[in-house]
Every structure is written in C-alpha cells, then in structure tokens.
Structure 1
Amino acid sequence: MSEISAIWERIEAWHEAEGQTGNLNPGASAGAIAQAEKDMGLTFPPELRESLLRHDGSADGGWPTGELLSLERIADERKVWMDLLGDGTFDGNASHNAGSEALQAGWWNPAWIPLDSDGGGNGAVIDLHPGPQGTVGQVIDMDHEVGPSGPKYASLSAYLEAMLERLAEEQS
C-alpha cells in the first residue's frame, strides 16, 4: 500500500468515527485529472494524482484548513492567481523571497498548484518549480497579504499527515 493510501485510510477512519464521511468528496476520474493537467499545462505529481483519485477535495469547511480543493476548485483558485500574475499585479513583488534557497523569487509561480483554501485568499500550494535547495512537490503556504513562504511540508504525504494530526487534536 502506498503512503498516500495509508494516510487516506487513517483520515477516512477519523471521518467515519466522527460521522463526517460526507465531508470528503468521491474521487476524481483519471480522465478528469488528465484533462485538468492539460488545461493547466502542468503535470501533477504522482502523489497528487493518487490523492485526487481517492478524494476530489472536501466540502467547504470539511477540512482542517477550510477546504481541500477539488479539481474544479484547484482550477478556479489557480486562475485567480494566474490572472493577477498576468495583469501585472505582482510586478512590484518580483523579488519577494529572493533570499530563499527553497523558493523561487516572486509572489506567484505558474508551476504552483493550489491545494487547500481558508476562504480568505490563503492556502497551501504544491510547488513544482522550487528554488535550488527546495524539492519538487514541497508544500508551501500562500498568504494573499504576505506572499508565499515555506516550505511548510516536504511533500503532499507530509501535508496529509499533518492534517490527520490536526483532526486528531480536534477529537481530543
């Protein structure tokens, strides 16, 4: 069993024990994932593909950070950021994180995939184009007021593990 599947089994068990199975969406189809990759011009990391096949996001408010994004919501969130990047909104922030070894400089990178959302313009993103000391697939924090920071988690598996820990804390 893969690491992603093992973590999802534990997350699903928590939701079942709490009577909250409706918070997790059914999985996306392989075709829908492939179409989303094509539409965004990105290749999703295998961990993300596997996760989306299992659960295509969560209900709004059904995730410790607010909402685990579905393919549709990933596309929506990414479009907002890409439109802002394209219209020059972030031009004044081109040197943001310039001293970071883990992140590329700038306020938004086209090789980032939104992962979750707090409903206020903030969320975790998967970084497919890290700085020289970063790793492809690291999960960083994107705050609409202070910009990107991190990495917060080394991988999607580490992110999901942290979300499981937050769920367990809520239970106690």
Structure 2
Amino acid sequence: MSEISAVWERIEVWYEAQGQTETLKPGASPEAIAQAEKDMGLTFPPELRESLLRHDGSADGGWPTGELLSLERMVDERKVWMDLLQDGTFDDNADHNEGSEALQPGWWNPAWIPLDADGGGNGAVIDLNPGPQGTVGQVIDMDHEVGPSGPEYPSLAAYLEAMLGQFSEGDEE
C-alpha cells in the first residue's frame, strides 16, 4: 500500500468515527485531473494524482486548515494568484524568499498548486519548482500578507499525516 493510501485510510477512519464521512468529497476522475492539469499548464506529481483519485477535497470548514481544495477550487485559487502575478502586483516582492534556499524567490510561482485554503487568502501549496535546497513536491505555506515560507512538509504524504495529527489533537481536548 502506498504512503498516500495508508494515511488516507487513517483519515477516513477518523472522519467515520466522528460521523462525518460526507465531509470528504468523493474522488475525482482521471479525466477531471487531466483537465485540471491542462487548465493549470502543470503536470501533477503522482502522489497528488493518487490523493485526488481518493478524495477531491473536503467541505468548507471540514479540514483542519479550513478546506482541502477540490480540483475546481485548485484551478480557481491558482488563477487568482496567477492574475496577480501577471498584472505586476507582486513586482515589488520579486526577490522575496524569507532566507530559505528551499524556495525560489518571489511572492508567487507559476509552478505552485494550491492545496488548502483558510478562507482568508492563505493556504498550503505544493511546490513543483523549489529552490536549490528544496525538493519537488514539498508543501509550503502561502500567507497573503507575509508571502511564502517553508517548506512546512517535505511531501504531500507528510502534509496529510500532519493534518491527521491535528484531527487527533482536537479529539484530546
């Protein structure tokens, strides 16, 4: 069993125990994933494809960070960021990198895929174009006020594992 499947199984068990299985959306079709890749002009990493085939996001408010984005929401969120990048909104922040050699400089990178959203313009993104000390597929934090930082997690599987940990922490309170 893959790492993605194993962590999703544990996440699904948590949702089931809470009586919230409807919070996780059904998986996306391979055709929908291919269309989203085409719309974004990107090729998704295999672990993102595998994750999307299992669950195409969550209900808003049903994820520790707010919402796990569906393909449609990924495309829409990325379009907002790309429009801002292309209209020059981020020109003054072209050198921004928070001192991390794991990230390329800049406020937004065309090779980022929005992953989740908090409803306030912030969220995790999958980085397909890391800096020299980063790794393809690392998950970074994008804060609309302070810019990108991280990486927060080395992979999507590590991100999902951390989200599962946040669910479990909520159970103990």
**Common fold by TM > 0.5:** yes
Distance 1:98 1:67, change over 3 A: closer
| TM-score normalized with structure 2 length | 0.98
Contact 1:102–1:135 at 8 Å: present in 2 too? Answer: yes
User: How many corresponding residue pairs?
Assistant: 172
Report the TM-score, using the length of structure 1 for normalisation.
0.99
| 1:91-170 → structure 2 map (5 Å cutoff) | 91-97=91-97, 99-170=99-170
In structure 2, relative to structure 1, the CA distance for the partners of 1:99 and 1:170 (3 Å cut) is closer
- Deviation, 1:171, is 1.1
Superposed CA RMSD: 0.7
Aligned counterparts of 2:99 and 2:156: Cα–Cα separation in 1: 24
1:99 and 1:58 map into 2 onto residues whose CA distance is 33
SS in 1 for 2:142: strand
Q: What displacement does 1:99 show?
A: 3.6
For the residue of structure 2 that corresponds to 1:139, the secondary structure is: strand
CA change 1:21–1:98 in 2 (3 A) is closer
AA of the residue aligned to 2:109: N
Question: 1:149 offset after TM fit, Å?
Answer: 0.1
> Could you tell me whether the CA contact under 8 Å between 1:113 and 1:126 is conserved in 2?
yes
What percentage of residue pairs aligned between the two structures are identical?
84
| Partner residue in 2 for 1:32 | 32
Q: State the Cα distance separating 1:27 from its structure 2 match.
A: 0.2
Q: 1:88 maps to what in 2? A: 88
Gap runs ≥5 in structure 2: none
CA–CA distance in structure 2, aligned partners of residues 131 and 150 of structure 1: 11
1:101-125 C-alpha deviation (Å, 9 max, x unpaired): 1000000000000000000000000
